[in-house]
Amino acid sequence: MIDQLTKESADEVKHKDMCISEINSNEASTEAATRDRDEAVEKVEALTATIDTLTKEIAELKKEVADGQTAMKRAGEDRELENKDFQLTIADQRATMKVLNAARDILKGFYDKAALLQSKKQAQEPYVAGPPAPAAFKTYEKQGSGGVLGAIDGVIADAKAMEADAINAESDAQQGYENFSKDTNDAVDEMVRSIVTKTEFKAQCESDKVETEQSRDSSIATLEELASENTALHADCDYTLKNFDLRQGARGQEIEALKQALQFLSGASFSALLQGDAATPQMQVNDEVKKSYDDYKKRLEDALP
């Protein structure tokens, strides 16, 4: 019995040490898995927010690219219409100048010939002084050639001025269109590059999110396993841990009592046993209980056949 109780006590010590070790390990693993889960959850939330932001930014950039391309198309169409108007204006003014120059040449020839004939006639006729002409009177030659030719020259000058204005306006419009096209193309190219960059980053974030979600789910599964393990450990260990000192003390007392009984039954002094002292031969001789026991034992032996 002493050996059995001693073995039970040693086994209980081992069981206690195992329980403490396993529970501590479980708690440490639970803490680590909880930290991993929380970090994964936080990272998933951050990646989700980043992906949402990138999705909106990419959509806005695509809309701006489409708007820019539409604006360039409309500007090109407007430029084409403006150029057609310019071509018509130039053609009209140049046709006008051509017709007027031709008419001016004809009229100038006519007036020059009439003036020459008038000069010859005046040179052949004797000079007769007449009454002075009114102040507002002008000769037919001056009236005809100066007034009509001057009017034609004025119209031609206006046509040239309109042509020059149209050319300047066309040049300005073309330069403005080219500047607008360049600026818009540069902006569109920059937005397209940004779309490519953000799309690649979004794809990376989505990949990271999938991996992080898998890590999160793995941590959650680990925590569930650790929780089950912790429940089993406490079911197996709580009684031992709670009552360890009490059970060890009681078992120790029981072992000590058995040892004392064994000593007594082996011839130890009962008085020494009660006093907790080791029995000596002299104590055994003087112990009345032992003497009576020995006498009784001898009588029994003598009585036996």
Contact 254, 19 (CB under 8 A): no
Asked if pLDDT for residue 174 goes beyond 60, the answer is: yes
For 137-167, the DSSP string reads ---HHIIIIIHHHHHHHHHHHHHHHHHHHHH
Structure token digits, residue 269: 């002094």
pLDDT band at 80 (very low <50, low <70, confident <90, very high): very high
- What Cα–Cα distance (Å) separates residue 186 from each residue in 69, 189, 192? 11, 5, 10
Q: Is 136 helix (H, G, I), strand (E, B) or coil?
A: coil
H or E segment at 45? helix 2-124
> Which pLDDT score is estimated for 263?
61
Q: Is 233's pLDDT higher than 70?
A: yes
Question: Which of 14-23, 60-69, 255-264 shows the lowest per-residue confidence on average (mean pLDDT)?
Answer: 255-264
Distance from C-alpha of 52 to C-alpha of 204, rounded to nearest angstrom: 13
Higher pLDDT, 211 or 13: 211
- pLDDT-based confidence at residue 249 (cuts at 50, 70, 90): confident
Q: Residue 85: count other Cβ atoms within 10 Å of its Cβ.
A: 14
Count CA atoms within 13 Å of residue 222 on its CB side: 18
Mean pLDDT of 185-211: 96
Mean pLDDT in the chain? 79
Spatial neighbors of 111 by CB under 8 A, at least 6 apart, are 141, 144, 145, 149
**What is d(CA 172, CA 10) in angstroms, rounded to the nearest whole number?**
105
pLDDT at res. 305: 45
Q: Which two tokens stand for residue 168?
A: 């300047």
Residue 131 has φ and ψ, to the nearest 5°, of -65, 150
Q: What percent of the chain has pLDDT over 70?
A: 70
Rounded CA separation 117/123 (Å): 10
Could you read off the pLDDT of 257-278 as tens digits, one per residue?
766 666 655 555 555 545 555 5
Distance CA 23, CA 26 (A): 5
Distance CA 220, CA 228 (A): 13
What share of the chain has pLDDT > 90, as a percent?
43
- pLDDT of res. 34: 95
Residue 68 has pLDDT above 70, yes or no: yes
Report the C-alpha gap between 234 and 223 in whole angstroms.
16
Hey, what's the torsion of the CAs at 28, 31, 33, 36, to 10 degrees?
Answer: -130
pLDDT for 130 equals 46
Which tokens hold the place of 305? 């056949």
Query: Considering only 37-46, 75-84, 133-142, 206-215, which range has the smallest mean pLDDT?
Result: 133-142
Higher-pLDDT residue of 82, 305: 82
Single-letter code of the amino acid located at 245? D
CATH 1.10.3210 describes domain 31-243: no
Direct distance between the N- and C-terminal alpha carbons of the chain, in angstroms, rounded to an integer: 35
Which carries the bigger pLDDT value, residue 42 or residue 234? 42
Range from 146-160, 198-212, 237-251 that averages highest in pLDDT: 198-212
| pLDDT at residue 172 greater than cutoff 60 | yes
How far is it, in rounded angstroms, from Cα 247 to Cα 131?
165
| pLDDT tier at 136, thresholds 50, 70, 90 | very low
Q: Rounded mean pLDDT of 8-14?
A: 78
pLDDT exceeds 80 at position 21:
yes
Instruction: Return the structure tokens found at 67.
Output: 């708007």
Q: Flag whether pLDDT at 26 surpasses 60.
A: yes
pLDDT at residue 158, as a whole number: 87
Angle, helices 2-124/147-265, rounded to nearest 10 degrees: 180
CB 251 within 8 A of CB 8: yes
